[in-house]
Amino acid sequence: MATLGLVEYFNASPEVRAVYDDIMVTRRIDRINNFWKALANDPSTLRRTWESIKQIMTPGALDPLTKEMIYVAVSATNQCAYCIASHTAAARKAGMSDAMFAELMAVVGMANETNRLASGYQVEIDSQFVAGQEKDRFLAKAPRSPRKKKR
């Protein structure tokens, strides 16, 4: 049971209802997830979180499917059952196939493994990563404006 309960559409304030409407229109869905209904107990957090999500998940240098898969990767790493369920559903809706999901999980598992091997073995960061970043950074800075968003 959600800590503060869920705010259903029919008894939501106009402020909350406006966010709900925007969510449904933006996502082309006809019902609101429990996550938003729970946040609606705090309208300012509801609005801020939705505005941030809307801004971040919009197509940009990365496409929506890639973004949803990154969301799943983080959620699986953090063991957030709700978020794994909801964002896996969102990723599938955005086009994630079974094969893509399987590869996503394989990378997530492997990254979690090698993260601990690197820390457990107390491996020092290679100087070339630092230096390389530096160089890339200078190169990247110069021609920044005409950056091709080709992906």
Positions 54 through 83 that interact with a second copy (CB under 8 A): 55-57, 60-62, 65-67, 69-83
- Residues 109-138 close enough to bind a second copy by CB under 8 A: 109-126, 128-130, 132-134, 136-137
Helices (H) and strands (E) in the chain, counts: 7, 0
Where in 30-49 is the site for a second copy (CB under 8 A)? 31, 33-35, 38-39, 41-42, 44-45, 48-49
Position 142 contacts a second copy (CB under 8 A): no
Asked if 149 interacts with a second copy (CB under 8 A), we say yes
- Going residue by residue from 83 to 102, which x/- string records binding to a second copy, judged by CB under 8 A? xxxxxxx--x--x-xxxxxx
Q: What is the DSSP string of 68-123?
A: HHHHHHHHHHHT-HHHHHHHHHHHHHTT--HHHHHHHHHHHHHHHHHHHHHHHTTP
Q: Which residues contact 86 (CB under 8 A, 6 or more apart)?
A: 33, 35
